[in-house]
Structure 1
Amino acid sequence: MSNPLQDFLSLSYAELEDLNLAAKEQRKNRVPADQIQEERLKYLTDEKRIKAVTVLFSDLEGRLHMLDYDKKFLVKSWDNLTFDGSSIRGFTAQRESDLRLGMDWSAFYWAPSDIFGSGKVLVFGEVIDKDGSAYTGDIRGVLKTFSNAQFQKNGYTLNAANEIEGFLFKGADAERSYNETGKFEYVNTGGYYHSLPGDPLRQFIDTSAEVQRAMGFENEKDHPEVAPSQFEINYGYGEVVAAADQIQLYKLICRQVATKMGLTASFLPKPVVGVNGSGMHTNVSISKGGKNIFWDPKGEEKLSKFGWQFIDRILTHGNDICLALNASVNAYRRLDPHFEAPNQIKASAVDRGSMVRIPIGNERSSRVEVRSVGPDANPYLVLYSVFKTGLDGEIAKIKNLRQADRYLPDNIYDALANFTSAEWTSTMLGADVKARYAELKQASADRCPRLLGTFVKPQEVQYHHEVYNQFLWNQF
């Protein structure tokens, strides 16, 4: 209910889109950080209708965290924001808990007031260790450092676009109450591309798409997916850190819209057995001097030698990085060949069971699609793993590497064993972060049945990192 005494910022969707696209263009053009910082602080100071700034950051598993800072306090204290890192799974130990939050002023968003509340803006934060260095457990910072280094050293711009599928279920708290109900209820049973105008699924998709458009996503298409009550909303590619931020915002928007409708947007990879699971197909390319260097009109599948070497490295390390791309017990239900699952460690232009696909493209759209990614994975870790591996990994001397008879693991225990024993994951993440990530995954796995079986167990949901809360975790 509105209060006539309050005068908080509330902009039209068209105004929001203009502001967010302008900020997106600054980020794309790599406008100097100090210039953007000065602009944002001036804006916050001058705009009296803003009451709070929501700062977002992600933990090691990819769960999104948000803190609201009073606007006036933030303007004065933005360079000295501390928080308790020991309360975040996978961050610091209790005895060394203090961490700082820096502001990535280029990752600044205006959000619709009817969805997020009036008088607020959003900005992504950067986690900083006690000594002022980037915190190693903040994979967003790791990805940003890697991306900037590639641009400065090689002139590479790392580009990504993700196709994120999810389910819409009845009830505002369907995941957290799954251990009591033992089931998810569809809101729609229409199937692929089919949903009547005005039904709950279509209404949810339309509203979410409108919010994304207002927040500068530059939408492309949206539709119900193959499984009942399943959805996908596609948007344009972006520089890799911005692309990962948009994944976090996409899921946040969907969850918020669903909650306001009394429903649940779920990004569990396989919440219902017997129908298609949800994936996060990850499309990547690299450009240099504005030219897509994956494109070669004379290359095999019109992909350059550079692009094929990128693929070969991913195939070589497919099992090593599987745990980063499929981060939960439930994710391994999706890697089932009966439902178009991309569980074969090979590359193909047509076979959707391949881990890597080469979609039809042209000079602008030529890309590599990594299909074996769950929508619940840490997006920063996914994109870092894909680009770091594709650029710096090894190429194995395996006969017919691109079509070899090799498969991804069908359970998290094998994925954990591959991840922990691989030298490549130590090189990629460092021993400390690798060990902490593996420990979190082991803890979740140990609380769940070792054999997946033919129906989703309450523990798969209860101890899932995206559903996690202290109350549920302690019911063991």
Structure 2
Amino acid sequence: MSDEIKNIIERMEADNIKFIRLQFVDLNGVPKSIAVPYVKGEMENFFTKGMPFDGSSIEGFVEINDSDLILKPDISTYSQLSWRPEESAVCRFICDIWTPEGKPFVGDPRSILKHALKKLKDEYGYNYNIGPEPEFFIVNIDEDGYPVPYDDASYFDVEPKDKGPDFRRELTLNLEELGFDVEVSHHEVGPGQNEIAFKFDDALKTADAVITFKQAIKAIVNNMAQFDGLDYRVTFMPKPFFGENGSGMHCHQSLFKDGENLFADDESESGISQEAIYFIGGLLKHAPALTAITNPIVNSYKRLVPGYEAPVYEAYGLKNRSALIRVPAARGKGTRIEYRAPDPACNPYLAFAAMLYAGMDGLKNKIDPGEPTEINIYKLTEEEREELGINVLPSSLWEAYHALEEDNIIMDGLGEHISEAFLKSKYAEWDDYRVQVFGYEQERYLDL
């Protein structure tokens, strides 16, 4: 028995673990898990050989005639689930997915990100750090079954207008028990909208953390609502309410080598390095295709419209929040670029991998994004934007997935299996959406 396995078994026994959840995500980033009882004496074999499962029922995985896959726990992801009862303690491991032949499964989103990080390390010796800001709404379900915001507060509001301090305090305490280093929590712009930001880390750890974050917040608020006899729930839907700001997941990114931030350059006028400029160039070049991955559902494009602080213009600026990419004011080790399009409906493993491949293309081919845009792009006319060469992000899922089809860098980075499965899923989603008849249409057109 290796020391690593021995140590984790000892920790599980000290934590009085009764059940083990093996967690992974499907193509769309939806958490899936298998629960197994803790059986003393069988854990070494469990960690070494993994747990077989049927992959044919998981979206984007395998066909029924070739359905056997294996979950292998990543021991470093051990976490006790704080919202489960102490008397029957539950822990969770995030898993990698393997084939019975002992090879990483090409349809596993986590493996796609691991491969991208390895490529960056092998070719450049760099590490990719990322800090996402997933926003969310807390809603109450009214007597007619419709969601309504649980308060009507706005940005940075306080009690009694903001009804969320108790929620955010409980969520922060539970997240800290799960190992999160929470930086700040506050009410966001929209009614019922909140943000809890946690510190950046290695992209793989951060993608794991996003999945845990979303799952934990939903579970904790659900438990609080049941205790209070209410029907509160959390939604990461990008645009749940017409006329209000949507939820984004801005992604702060930087490259490190030997502990040094490669995006920082004290000698340059802007304080950012040439590597950062090229990385920005790669992100802008591939932005249309990236949008299919970072904004992957029909509802994502209800958020990506002018007027609600959502980034729709393919430009970058220093501190400019009207541009797709912003370079925050922090310098030195805090130097980073902020890609502002992603929303919390995305699969973080695929989104982070796709952004990294775009940035690596910028580094490899020295893609120059031009001068930063420091004016409010929202106030420009279409003609003025065209003169400045500022394009607009795809305005629908249909546009976005066609842009993805034409981008060989992102398609090749995700691999044939993931790319084909993702596009197939998006074709089906768009077809299902476009044939629906909504209340808006009935109200507007019934009397024609």
Question: Does the aligned pair in 2 maintain the 1:316–1:395 contact within 8 Å?
Answer: no
TM-score calculated relative to the size of structure 2: 0.86
Corresponding residue for 1:169?
139
Corresponding residue for 2:389?
404
1:329-381, Cα deviation, whole Å (9 max, x unpaired): 00011111111111111111133221111011121110010000011100011
**Is residue 20 of structure 2 the alignment partner of residue 53 of structure 1?**
yes
**Is residue 28 of structure 2 the alignment partner of residue 43 of structure 1?**
no
Corresponding residue for 1:267?
236
Q: Distance in 1 between matches of 2:156 and 2:207?
A: 26
**Is residue 288 of structure 2 the alignment partner of residue 319 of structure 1?**
yes
Q: Alpha carbon RMSD of aligned pairs, Å?
A: 2.7
Question: Does the aligned pair in 2 maintain the 1:295–1:302 contact within 8 Å?
Answer: yes
Corresponding residue for 1:19?
none
Shift of residue 432, structure 1, vs aligned partner? 2.7
Question: Does the aligned pair in 2 maintain the 1:301–1:358 contact within 8 Å?
Answer: no
**Is residue 104 of structure 2 the alignment partner of residue 137 of structure 1?**
no
**Is residue 204 of structure 2 the alignment partner of residue 241 of structure 1?**
yes
Shift of residue 149, structure 1, vs aligned partner? 4.2
Which structure 2 residues correspond to residues 15-34 of structure 1 after superposition, within 5 A? none
Question: Does the aligned pair in 1 maintain the 2:319–2:329 contact within 8 Å?
Answer: no
Corresponding residue for 1:473?
none
Q: Distance in 2 between matches of 1:35 and 1:159?
A: 29
Which structure 2 residues correspond to residues 69-84 of structure 1 after superposition, within 5 A? 69-72=36-39, 74-78=43-47, 79-84=49-54
Unaligned runs of 5+ in 1: 1-32, 458-476
SS of the residue corresponding to residue 286 of structure 1 reads strand
Q: Distance in 2 between matches of 1:34 and 1:304?
A: 43
Name whichever of 393-402 and 255-264 sits farther off. Answer: 393-402
Corresponding residue for 2:64?
94
**Is residue 164 of structure 2 the alignment partner of residue 194 of structure 1?**
no
1:99-136, Cα deviation, whole Å (9 max, x unpaired): 10011111111231557984111111001123211111
Q: Which amino acid aligns with 2:75?
A: W
Shift of residue 259, structure 1, vs aligned partner? 1.0
Question: Does the aligned pair in 2 maintain the 1:320–1:424 contact within 8 Å?
Answer: no
Decide which of 177, 180, 188 is 1:217's aligned counterpart: 180
Corresponding residue for 1:366?
335
Question: Does the aligned pair in 1 maintain the 2:397–2:430 contact within 8 Å?
Answer: yes
**Is residue 262 of structure 2 the alignment partner of residue 298 of structure 1?**
no
Decide which of 396, 418, 426 is 1:441's aligned counterpart: 426
Corresponding residue for 2:308?
339
**Is residue 90 of structure 2 the alignment partner of residue 123 of structure 1?**
no
1:123-171, Cα deviation, whole Å (9 max, x unpaired): 1100112321111111111212332443355332211111110100114
Question: Does the aligned pair in 1 maintain the 2:104–2:111 contact within 8 Å?
Answer: yes
Q: Distance in 2 between matches of 1:306 and 1:398?
A: 12
Q: Which amino acid aligns with 1:101?
A: L
Change (3 A) 1:352 1:148: same
Change (3 A) 1:34 1:291: farther
Corresponding residue for 1:160?
130
Change (3 A) 1:335 1:105: same
Q: Distance in 2 between matches of 1:236 and 1:70?
A: 33
Question: Does the aligned pair in 1 maintain the 2:50–2:73 contact within 8 Å?
Answer: no
SS of the residue corresponding to residue 337 of structure 1 reads coil
Q: Distance in 2 between matches of 1:84 and 1:391?
A: 35
**Is residue 390 of structure 2 the alignment partner of residue 423 of structure 1?**
no
Q: Which amino acid aligns with 2:19?
A: A
Q: Distance in 2 between matches of 1:258 and 1:445?
A: 31
SS of the residue corresponding to residue 315 of structure 2 reads strand
Question: Does the aligned pair in 2 maintain the 1:157–1:239 contact within 8 Å?
Answer: yes
SS of the residue corresponding to residue 106 of structure 2 reads coil
Question: Does the aligned pair in 1 maintain the 2:79–2:91 contact within 8 Å?
Answer: yes
Corresponding residue for 2:384?
none
Q: Distance in 2 between matches of 1:240 and 1:332?
A: 25
SS of the residue corresponding to residue 352 of structure 1 reads coil
Change (3 A) 1:106 1:415: same
